[in-house]
């Protein structure tokens, strides 16, 4: 639904936001739907720890194995 920019500014609604439209009696109520913020995951390891000891050869070990596999 397109709403005039003056209405969006007055209601402090961002362009592209999800909205709820409700009719109560003779009033039309337009509200922005608060979208849940993405939860940041906390992992028990760091990127640095995962990459520790990694070499170009180890990074592509699956390719090395596949190329040397004889059927």
Q: Which residue has the higher pLDDT, 57 or 50?
A: 50
Is the residue at 51 inside a domain?
yes
Task: Evaluate whether 17 touches 33 at the Cβ level (below 8 Å).
Answer: yes
For residues 15 and 28, is the Cβ–Cβ distance under 8 A? no
Q: Is residue 28 part of a domain?
A: yes
pLDDT score of 25: 95
Residue 39 lies in a domain: no
Cβ atoms of residues 34 and 19 within 8 Å: no
Q: What is the pLDDT of residues 3-37, one digit of tens each?
A: 888 988 888 888 888 889 999 999 999 888 887 77
Provide the domain count of the chain.
1
Residue 22 located in a structural domain: yes
């Amino acid at each position: 639904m397109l709403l005039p920019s003056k209405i969006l500014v007055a209601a402090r609604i961002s362009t592209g936001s999800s909205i709820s439209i409700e009719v109560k009696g003779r009033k039309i109520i337009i509200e922005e739907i608060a979208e849940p913020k993405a939860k940041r995951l906390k992992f028990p390891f760091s990127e640095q720890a995962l990459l520790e000891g990694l070499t170009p050869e180890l990074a592509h070990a699956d390719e090395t194995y596949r190329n040397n596999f004889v059927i």
